[in-house]
Amino acid sequence: MNRTALRPLIFAMSFIAMALLGSSLQAQTAQDSAHLKDWWKNAVIYEIYPRSFQDTNNDGIGDLNGITAHLDYLKELGIDAIWIAPCYPSPLADFGYDISDYENIAPEYGTLADFDRLVAEAKKRNIRIMMDMVMNHTSDQHKWFLESKSSKTNPYRDWYVWRDGKGETATSQGEPPNNWLSEFGHSAWQWDPTTRQYYYHKFYIQQPDLNWDNPKVHEAFKNIMRFWYKHGVAGFRFDAITTLFEDPTLADEDYVRDKDGNIIINAAGDKQTDGKKTEFLPQVDDVMQEMRAASDAYPSNKFPGTHLFVGETYVPNIAALAKLYGTPQKPEFQLPMDTQIGLETHKLDAAIFRKKITEAENDLNGNPPLIVFDNHDNPRLDARFGDGVHDNDIQRVISTLLFTTRGAALFYYGDEIGMKTTPPTRKEDVKDPVGILMWPKYKGRDGERTPMQWDDSKNAGFSNATPWLPVPANYTTINAKAEEADPNSLFHWYQKLIALKKTNDAVANGENIMLDVNNPGVLSWERKSATGVVVVVCNMTADAQTVDLSAAGNSAPKTLLKAHAADPQSLSKIELGPYGVYIGQL
């Protein structure tokens, strides 16, 4: 056959080849964009308290360049995103949660150029950067508040919550408008002698609450959000979001009583109120729908795909959590934190975890839960779940719950190496003001904010200067360098669990089904997807345990990961040592 005769055949074959290539590229692109759009559904998010992660300029305080310096470590761990606790300019009444400029970086943490470099370097490693978004309050040094308090007629007056006192006279300020309490102790109202009114502050006196009934406040925060999107952030963690609104009638809250009917006195010495007029008002949902719509309308630049809203949502029950996702038509948070599982539960109790995880599976309308066991406001895992003898083993159990149940996972710097809560022993050493006020009943949050323990050199490799909080003495043995070198360390356990979450389809996407549901000491469940089944078994007791999961099948599982557990011959006999964990593929 000559070339001319072959031409139609060549043409037809090239056409078919191109069509096939085109459709496979199209499928690939569709898959990629679905993956990018939904990146958060199975995400692993790592919280960094920037003050305590790594100091690079020898002032004893961590900084943004310190985070950049450790991106390879975080990549090795396998995380998808970093949430940085506030690093904006702040007078530091609440260590950064009192923001005086939302569109800049505090000098002690670096510059906007450092931030841009962090985002760019993180992107090279496929790690997204998330910022903290504090919308409930600003610093009392923010220009909006300085304006607001300057006179009753200032245009910013209505940006904050100002009210008259009760029984005020020309010579006396009278009483606060009602009995509402600050989370950090005493009345939530602060008298301002210049304009002779009280302002409301849910947190410290230096953190006046913004007035979210004012549409200008909404616009201001949409602009702040866009500012950070331009700098490449992938989303925000919304601070104290459930306290955005207060009851306009200013009615007193009820007092909380013990079982004998006596009013409970809290650690600050105040009569504890129930928060019903100052938390979870329905307008919070309206604001979040509005913010989410503005966020979704903004084109993502550095990381294509959805911008993520994580909520600091201490919820009383699963129904309250479900509401915070919004609806498909009016979405709110993609990932409001499920605090019920990891922050409200304080002991290893199989029955409690079974109930809470089942609720998260069944009662969130198919939305992924965001499980979180630890953050900068709560004592670390050792203090809440440990027994002082098996702390690392217990942490293997907790991290198994965190990474192998369905949904996204959030953890706190230092968890991966088993850092311990180290509270101050003397009142004069306390840095967190709430710890000074409530000492010794409550020692504040310094104990969970100590510097990251990188190695066994001076100051654990955190800083060459005196660290802002002392480095715990255990850094010589508990540090990242030692754990990276030890294949049996907690660090490698975390790394393997995260890898499993990322690579095993059942662990990534499968349904979460509880097994052996009456077992009081061992929590077992399976993750089931179209491509496979994985069983997970966690011994929550200090005794050896044997469980029979034959109801889930009779094949011999293939071990994926285990600690203090034997390789079982069949599902009918899984043997675990104290706080043992077994994960197997069926």
Binding region for ligand NOJ (CB under 6 A): 94, 97, 134, 203, 239-240, 312, 376-377
Q: Are strands 81-84 and 44-48 parallel, antiparallel or unpaired?
A: parallel
Residue of 433, 411, 409, 435 whose CA lies nearest to 422: 435
Joined together, the tokens standing for residue 424 give 């101050």
Name the residue nearer to ligand NOJ (CB basis): 307 or 449: 449
Joined together, the tokens standing for residue 584 give 């197997």
Could you confirm whether 239 is annotated as catalytic?
yes
Please give the torsion angle defined by the CA atoms of residues 465, 469, 472 and 476, in that order, rounded to the nearest 10 degrees.
-20
Joined together, the tokens standing for residue 560 give 């994926």
Catalytic residue among 63, 246, 312, 448: 312
Name the residue nearer to ligand NOJ (CB basis): 144 or 475: 144
Is residue 453 classed as helix, strand or coil in its secondary structure? coil
Residue appearing with tokens 């069944």:
362
Name the residue nearer to ligand NOJ (CB basis): 132 or 483: 132
Distance CA 580, CA 218 (A): 50
- Determine the residue with CB nearest ligand NOJ: 97
Helix (H) or strand (E) holding 533: strand 532-539
Distance CA 489, CA 480 (A): 10
From residue 12, alpha-carbon distances to 122, 226, 450, 529, 551 in Å are 46, 50, 68, 40, 56
Distance CA 80, CA 46 (A): 8
CB-hemisphere CA count at 13 Å for 117? 13
490-503 and 391-404 helices cross at what angle (nearest 10)?
10
Name the residue nearer to ligand NOJ (CB basis): 247 or 377: 377
Catalytic residue among 94, 140, 239, 279: 239
Name the residue nearer to ligand NOJ (CB basis): 206 or 334: 206
Distance CA 78, CA 496 (A): 9
**Contact criterion met (CB below 8 Å) for 584 and 555:** no
Joined together, the tokens standing for residue 418 give 């088993």
**Contact criterion met (CB below 8 Å) for 242 and 280:** yes
Name the residue nearer to ligand NOJ (CB basis): 108 or 312: 312
Residue of 211, 266, 200 whose CA lies nearest to 244: 211
Please report the DSSP string for 469-499 in residue order. SPPPGGGGTS-HHHHHH-TTSHHHHHHHHHH
CB of 98 to ligand NOJ, least distance (A): 8
CB of 203 to ligand NOJ, least distance (A): 4
**Contact criterion met (CB below 8 Å) for 202 and 240:** yes
CB of 237 to ligand NOJ, least distance (A): 9
What are the φ and ψ backbone dihedral angles of 175, each rounded to 5 degrees? -110, 155
DSSP state of 60: S
Distance CA 275, CA 272 (A): 9
Please report the DSSP string for 491-504 in residue order. HHHHHHHHHHHHH-
215-230 and 283-297 helices cross at what angle (nearest 10)?
40
**Contact criterion met (CB below 8 Å) for 485 and 455:** no
Could you confirm whether 393 is annotated as catalytic?
no
Distance CA 238, CA 252 (A): 27
Distance CA 138, CA 465 (A): 31
End-to-end alpha carbon distance in the chain: 57
Residue appearing with tokens 């029979």:
548
Name the residue nearer to ligand NOJ (CB basis): 441 or 573: 441
Residue appearing with tokens 């409301």:
200
Residues labelled catalytic: 239, 312
